[in-house]
Chain A
Amino acid sequence: MSFQPIKFYQTGTFTVGNRLLPDAERSVQSTVRRTNSLNSGHRACQGCGEALGARYAIDAAMESTDGQLIAANATGCLEVFSTPYPETSWQIPWIHSLFGNTAAVATGIAAAMRVKGRDNVRVVAQGGDGGTADIGFGCLSGMFERNDDVLYICYDNGGYMNTGVQRSSATPAGARTATTAAVGPNPGNPFGQGKDLPAIAIAHGIPYVATATVAELRDLEAKVRHAMSIRGARYLHILVPCPLGWGHDSALTIRMARLAKETGIFPVYEAENGEVTGVSKIRQKTRVEEYLKPQKRYAHLFSPKPREDVIRRIQEAADRNIRKYGLLEAAQ
């Protein structure tokens, strides 16, 4: 792993830890160097995981590139809450074109920089899970396949949140959304194969793929830094809880993200050139109910009639992840 886990992460702040660490290992957010790329004053909901993830990711990318960064942004919550005309929260050069073309727009920016001999200027593309796994999938795959020098960051909140919480191909099985109502014999999102985007990115054989959550922000920063040290197509998939869409208390965003990892529901790992090179071990294996219960999108699994059958299938999927990625083996 590019990141050395440290024990005091449970405090939810790294201020204490940073004082104990050598300069080079300190969190970007803890230093005066941080750029506040996504500045305060934006319109995200309280406790928005996407806002948090974007702030950490882009600040880390800014630090790694010495401020020589351009971002392309898909339509979605991040775009809408950050740039209501005539205001903008972005302190970096930033463009929003469409919902489904962000990877291609980023390719164009990278091409412009190369042709102008400005290879030091780097490009980040970012979008939600809908903009990435669904409508922008073609452009994303094309960008990967050409190995364009772009870091694509997907903020996965498991649905089309900006349009009012509809199902996307990243919506987890069993979850209620506005288009997978919690009614009928099989309430919520049906079980299917799902679309495992990090695995699909790895299958492209691109230089770097990683997953992360907003519960381990140092890990997230480290992955962005590592990604920016590499040229070519890179993909970072960040799980970002959405209090509005998931129906959890806005104070529980970090806990939800942590539980997603600790249950095995969201495996955190990285891969280089098509091979998994490191996984974040589960510290304390947790049953999926603990993750599901605080979220209203799963309320129909607990009342009026407990749906143990559905919960078992969710648990089985989490256990499969644990086996597949070796999430429980002792850390080296």
Chain B
Amino acid sequence: MLKQIEGSQAVAEAIALCRPEVICAYPISPQTHIVEGLGELVKSGELTPCEFINVESEFAAMSVAIGASAAGARAYTATASQGLLFMAEAVFNAAGLGLPIVMTVANRAIGAPINIWNDHTDAMSQRDCGWILLFAETNQEALDLHIQAFRLAEALSLPVMVCMDGFILTHAYERVDMPTQEQVDAFLPPFDPRQRLDPASPVSIGAMVGPEAFMEVRYLEHVRQMRALEMIPGWAEEFREAFGRDSGGLMRKYRTDDADTIVVALGSVLGTIKETVDALRDKGERIGVLGITCFRPWPTSAVRAALSHAKRVVVLEKSIAVGLGGIVSANVRASYGGHPDVVHTVVAGLGGRSITRESLARVFTSASHGTLAPLTFLDLDHGLVERALARERQTPHSGPVAEGLLRDVGVVAAKIS
């Protein structure tokens, strides 16, 4: 059914269609509308049987999900930013225990300085935690990915994180096609784990494992993720047949066939990038886009094949490995067959900084002219940082950076523009 609704509400309704049995809720922007929506569905009796638990922290949210999932219930929670970091220990634990929990991460920057707006630093901080990490491009894809996520998680006995850009998707009202309960039920069988906490057949879960078998446990986790690489395209295909649209998969190519320059990115910014690419194509530039949907497991060979004809690659990412440069770029570089120097990193949109078509066109054009630096910070206010650096040279001292910058900018609160 077509609906014009908020992204968070769309995800909440899609989650409800997946019949979760335990939902743990803790507020943090920009995720909160999702659990609010679910809370209402449970309270009204529309989503039943389901236990909706208001926990006291994100650490508890993931821990309650761990207990519920180990006891055989389909468990879901959502978080963002500081919340994801606060639950980090339990995030790794869920993966190590092989529990098929599904979690939405409404991507948001991480402080300090505290910032509620969108970037990918939160999810990237957990990229090697053992979860499958999927990134949605649109609200439609966000809700579709959640339906696929439960299927994927339960088939592989691995938790899945569905990442959607905070505010840009979560708070945007867009048209989505909401599937019916029958469609989802046909696609997603009930959760039936091979092992669960049950007095009928007592098992010990979470034993201490020493050097004699720890490597093997981790190896098997890796093998399962590699298996996901093989299964995900098939499921996306099955999803297309059942729901009549393309959603998910490992990655998506756009006008890459004859492209000399390929832009790689994740999430909602792909829309803006595609429009920019269309405009550049009209001017005769041979440029295309590779959107990564599945960031973990990383689709090494698929990325390599997709980039094989490219003369240069621009990785546009909303995250930064401080002291190195790009996070996504490091992965792309490792899977690019050509010279690694032609893989450029463009760090963009940190903390909600707008990413405009004009700015994108500028960096993409300079890439094709061979003048793009290996690492670029899109629309960085060079004057501002130069003045801050000059001050630091004058009076070297340690302390928070943000306050000095804000005084310089002349505003007390950060502004979004």
Residues of A within 8 A of B (CB): 67-70, 72-73, 79-80, 83-88, 90-98, 100-101, 104-117, 121, 138-139, 141-142, 145-146
Contact = CB atoms under 8 A, between A and B. Distances in A.
A79 B208 contact: yes
Contacts of B210: 84-85
B60 A139 contact: yes
A88 B204 CA distance: 7
B71 A97 contact: no
Interface stretch (B46-54, B298-306, B344-352): B46-54
B72 interface: yes
Nearest to B206: A96
Given A138-B57, A146-B53, A101 B63 contact: yes
B409 interface: no
Contacts of A69: 199
Contacts of B75: 108
B371 to A, nearest CB: 51
A79 B75 CA distance: 25
B64 A104 contact: yes
A116 B198 CA distance: 12
Contacts of A105: 63-64, 66-67, 70
Interface in B82-130: 89-90, 93, 97
A93 B220 CA distance: 24
B204 A104 contact: no
Contacts of A96: 205-208
A101 B59 contact: yes
Contact of A142 (B21, B56, B67): B56
11 contacts: A83-B208, A86-B207, A101-B90, A107-B64, A108-B66, A111-B51, A112-B21, A112-B68, A115-B49, A116-B73, A138-B56
B208 A95 contact: no
Among B22, B70, B71, B199, the most chain A Cβ lie within 10 Å of the Cβ of B71
B71 A70 contact: yes
A282 B24 CA distance: 45
A91 to B, nearest CB: 6
Interface string B191-225: 00000011101111111111001000000000000
Contacts of A117: 49
B59 A100 contact: yes
Contacts of A142: 55-57, 60
A70 B207 contact: no
A108 B64 contact: yes
A104 B206 CA distance: 16
A117 B72 CA distance: 12
A123 B210 CA distance: 28
Contacts of A83: 204, 206-208
Given A84-B207, A108-B65, 16 more contacts: A67-B199, A70-B198, A83-B206, A85-B210, A85-B213, A95-B67, A95-B204, A104-B59, A104-B63, A106-B67, A108-B70, A111-B22, A111-B51, A115-B21, A121-B198, A121-B199
Contact of A95 (B22, B70, B90): B70
B103 to A, nearest CB: 14
B199 A93 contact: yes
A115 B50 contact: yes
Among A87, A111, A113, the most chain B Cβ lie within 10 Å of the Cβ of A111
Contact of A108 (B63, B97, B201, B203): B63
A79 B209 CA distance: 12
Contact of B206 (A67, A95, A121, A139): A95
Contacts of A94: 197, 202-205
A242 B234 CA distance: 56
A142 B55 CA distance: 7
A105 B62 CA distance: 9
B139 interface: no
B261 interface: no
B232 to A, nearest CB: 28
Contacts of A138: 56-57, 59-60
B69 interface: yes
Nearest 9 interchain pairs by C-beta: A108-B67, A142-B56, A104-B63, A101-B63, A112-B71, A96-B206, A112-B73, A105-B67, A108-B68
Given A105-B63, A108-B22, A90 B204 contact: yes
A206 B90 CA distance: 27
Contacts of A85: 207-210, 213
Given A93-B202, A97-B97, A72 B207 contact: no
Contacts of B66: 97, 101, 105, 108
A112 B67 contact: yes
B59 A115 contact: no
A73 B205 CA distance: 10
